[in-house]
Amino acid sequence: MSKDVIILAIESSCDETSMAIVKNGHDILSLTISSQIRTHANFGGVVPEIASRMHTENITFVLEETLKKFKGTIADIDAIAVTYAPGLLGSLLVGIECAKALSLVYNKPLIAVNHTMGHIYANNIENKITYPTLALVVSGGHTDLLILKSENEMQLLGSSIDDSIGEVYDKVARVLGMTYPGGPNIEKAAVKGEDTYKLPKPMQDDSYNFSFSGLKSYIVNLVHNEKQRGNEIRKDDLAKSFQIAAVDEIVRKVTLAIKNTGIKHFVLAGGVSANKYLREELSKVCNQNNVKFHVPNILYCTDNAAMIGCAAYPLYKEKKFADFSLNAKSSENIKLYIEKNK
Ligand code: KG4
Ligand code: ZN
């Protein structure tokens, strides 16, 4: 394909209203992210009804900003991409309806993008994904380990069987009195702490699945019990011990996948991949095993529409366009996505 492909992408699956204009699946020509974090922080987590209302209020402004920063016009845009799954139903619908309106008014094809695929494709922004590669998605909603055999073929190795790693970071932060989203606050506290708490190891099997709910419940109970006894909780130490326990388990499963598959590339993705300790530990294990480690710039790890524009590019090349019956699929995880696309 010789002509440049320019895609306007929309992301509104959770608490970020974002739009981007992306050239050829990697070149970010314009990006706007309007975060609702400060509003939701007052409630200790994302309130779905407030999130969809705020998307509705913000989306036109985000579109205006994105077009203003773009050195072109809507006529230069080849397609409109939008996250349709997974996420909060009302929030997804705001983005979808906006995408449909733009597609109809400007007569541009519509591309439906799965949010988890977006996180993975953020790895094309600074480098190009080399296939086959192992991929680990660690976000607020999911923990998935996959093999990407080619642009169109993937195999799910394992997922979290209960809470996602991001959820557990947020829950542990909450019980320690830290604001939402908890991940970055746990990370900051852990830097100041020592690994002095003895915590249970998350899952001792040799499958590629993850389980973090036992570790989470142990910490929640520990904090409540210590409070009831009037004992002090060493928050920084507990944050450090938690982070080591959780990351150790992730590293163990990734090492297993590297050894068993012999694959020489690894891509990390999702909001929790902004965590420096996780990045360092996974990078180390990749180096030790002669595997090339890739992770997006921190800006592209948490939710943004640039990654949606990247993931839409291969779909554009294959002419996989959606029609106006496109609907939100709040619980279409990567397993369902792979089955649907077989
Ligand atoms: O990918 P994301 O922005 O949204 C979802 O698709 O879920 O991920 C959000 C999650 C939250 O749980 C947040 O606490 C976590 O990513 N997160 C982090 C860090 N930055 C964001 N967790 C650990 N360390 C961080 N630096
Ligand atoms: Zn996300």
pLDDT, one tens digit per residue, over 320-335 is 999 999 999 999 999 9
* Res. 1: pLDDT tops 70: no
Residue 11 near ligand 1, beta carbon < 6 Å: no
Cα–Cα distances (Å) from 133 to 44, 276, 329, in that order, read 36, 21, 27
Structure tokens at 80: 């409109």
Atom of ligand 1 nearest to the CA of 270: 1
Q: pLDDT tens digits, residue range 157-201?
A: 999 999 999 999 999 999 999 999 999 999 999 999 999 999 998
CB 270 within 8 A of CB 139: yes
CA distance 40 to 190: 24
Q: Whose CA is nearest to atom 4 of ligand 1?
A: 140
Residue 20 token pair: 């981007």
Q: Is the CB of 139 under 6 A from ligand 1?
A: yes
Q: What percent of the residues of the chain are helix, what percent strand, and what percent coil, each to the nearest 5?
A: 45, 20, 35
State the pLDDT confidence band at 227, using cuts at 50, 70 and 90.
Answer: very high
Gap from CA of 67 to ligand 1 centroid (Å): 28
DSSP state of 194: -
Report the predicted TM-score, pTM, of the whole model to 2 decimal places.
0.96
Residue 153 pairs in a beta bridge with 150
> Could you tell me if the CB of 271 is within 6 A of ligand 1?
yes
CB-CB contact of 114 with 241 (8 Å): no
